[in-house]
């Protein structure tokens, strides 16, 4: 399955009501439609300056808790049968979890169509990646904050440029064995590193990504890096982002990036529809916690996806939304404080 074609098709589906109807249909028919975003361990080996791990107050609450085998079994039983994509590594570093290949294998046994890991790459070796690919990994996402050694090591505090290059080499080696394994680069852009985007093809020579996401930096707490002004991306969009998008198009690389209009609307209010879609399709899970507190995914859970949504009256609520006027339906601005992106 190409998850990006699915997302592209869904994003271009005509109107919010039709999107809700599609989710309602998938829900009542028992089809896969949710994304599960899993942090198996709440720890990181870096203190990236744009990440909340550089915020001492927030990082103090993340003391390396690890998910248990029994909780993994609960997640596999309750969520994975309805999961279309599993992302391992969201707010923390997944390569610190010693049973990462086994976790991927568990998801593969549950027939999850698309499994990815998001990593800073500093601990990624060809041996570990090969084990993950053997287990059923579809995609490895590398977070990158610069394409010169100085910028990379400054913004990704604790990282070494040489290890980044070694991780790219490991990915190239494993892709020879598993050519369908996808590489995604997530580039967090700010006023310091935005103009380094043009160096991407030089740095990634021989390890070009299948997917490139350009994600403007946004505030995630009291982080070391505090300049979240998007002016450089807005003012020099044609010089910075547009050429990258065109090059991706020429190379048949999926590019996920905001448009100039998205950058203008990022600070506006959070609409009802965005929140609704997140409630319906986004399931974040960490050791002993999730963003759906009414859903029991603990070690001794006897809950199920069906019983949880029956308690929530999800199908009835969705049908009401489909057949009645949606809140904010006539609003001219329908964007969130999270950036909207276009998949090209």
Question: Looking at residue 298, what is its pLDDT?
Answer: 86
Q: Strand locations in 79-168, DSSP E?
A: 83-88, 114-119, 139-144
3-class SS of residue 215: strand
| Residue-wise pLDDT tens digits, 190-203 | 889 999 999 999 99
262 in Cβ contact with 16 (< 8 Å): no
**Does 334 have pLDDT greater than 50?**
no
**Does 336 have pLDDT greater than 50?**
no
Question: Looking at residue 338, what is its pLDDT?
Answer: 52
**Does 330 have pLDDT greater than 60?**
no
Question: Looking at residue 221, what is its pLDDT?
Answer: 66
3-class SS of residue 97: coil
Lowest-confidence segment of 24-33, 126-135, 335-344 by average pLDDT: 335-344
CA 60 to centroid of chain Cα atoms = 23
Question: Looking at residue 288, what is its pLDDT?
Answer: 72
- What is the C-alpha separation between 262 and 339, in angstroms, rounded? 7
- What is the C-alpha separation between 264 and 146, in angstroms, rounded? 24
**Does 38 have pLDDT greater than 90?**
yes
- What is the C-alpha separation between 88 and 51, in angstroms, rounded? 17
| Residue-wise pLDDT tens digits, 265-319 | 655 545 788 888 899 999 999 997 888 988 998 888 999 999 999 999 999 999 9
Query: What is the model's pTM?
Result: 0.90
Question: Looking at residue 344, what is its pLDDT?
Answer: 75
Residue that is written with structure tokens 């044609």 in the block: 238
Rg (CA), the chain: 20
Tokens of 106: 């568990």
**Does 121 have pLDDT greater than 60?**
yes
| Residue-wise pLDDT tens digits, 74-89 | 999 999 999 999 999 9
Write the CB contacts of 274 (distance below 8 Å, at least 6 apart in sequence): 334, 335, 336, 338
| Residue-wise pLDDT tens digits, 11-34 | 888 788 999 999 999 999 999 999
**Architecture of the domain spanning 3-343:** Alpha-Beta Barrel (3.20)
């Amino acid at each position: 399955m190409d998850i990006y074609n699915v997302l592209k098709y869904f994003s271009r589906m005509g109107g919010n009501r039709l999107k809700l109807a599609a989710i309602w249909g998938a829900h009542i028919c028992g089809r896969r439609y949710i994304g599960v975003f899993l942090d198996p361990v709440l720890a990181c080996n870096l203190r990236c300056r744009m990440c909340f791990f550089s915020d001492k107050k927030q990082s103090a609450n993340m003391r390396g808790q690890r998910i248990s085998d029994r909780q993994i079994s609960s997640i596999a039983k309750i969520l994975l049968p309805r999961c279309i994509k599993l992302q391992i590594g969201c707010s923390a570093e997944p390569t610190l979890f010693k049973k990462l290949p086994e976790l991927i294998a568990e998801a593969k046994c549950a027939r999850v169509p698309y499994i990815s890991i998001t990593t800073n790459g500093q601990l990624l070796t060809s041996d570990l990646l090969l084990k993950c690919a053997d287990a059923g990994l579809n995609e490895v996402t590398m977070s990158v904050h610069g394409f010169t050694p100085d910028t990379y090591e400054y913004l990704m505090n604790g990282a070494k440029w040489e290890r980044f290059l070694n991780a790219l080499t490991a990915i190239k080696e494993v892709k020879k064995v598993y050519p369908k394994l996808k590489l995604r680069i997530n580039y967090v852009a700010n006023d310091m590193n935005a103009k380094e985007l043009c160096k991407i093809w030089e740095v990634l020579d021989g390890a070009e990504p299948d997917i490139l996401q350009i994600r403007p930096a946004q505030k995630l707490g009291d982080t070391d890096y505090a300049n979240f002004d998007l002016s450089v991306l807005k003012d020099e969009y044609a010089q910075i982002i547009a050429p990258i998008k065109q090059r991706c198009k020429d190379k048949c690389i999926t590019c996920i990036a905001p448009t100039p209009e998205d950058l203008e609307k990022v600070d506006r209010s959070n609409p009802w529809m965005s929140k609704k879609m997140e409630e319906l399709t986004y399931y974040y899970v960490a050791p002993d916690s999730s963003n759906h507190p009414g859903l029991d995914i603990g070690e001794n859970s006897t809950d199920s996806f069906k019983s949880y949504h029956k308690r929530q009256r999800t199908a009835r609520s969705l049908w009401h939304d489909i057949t009645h006027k949606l809140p904010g339906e006539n609003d001219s601005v329908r964007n969130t404080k999270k950036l909207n992106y276009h998949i090209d």
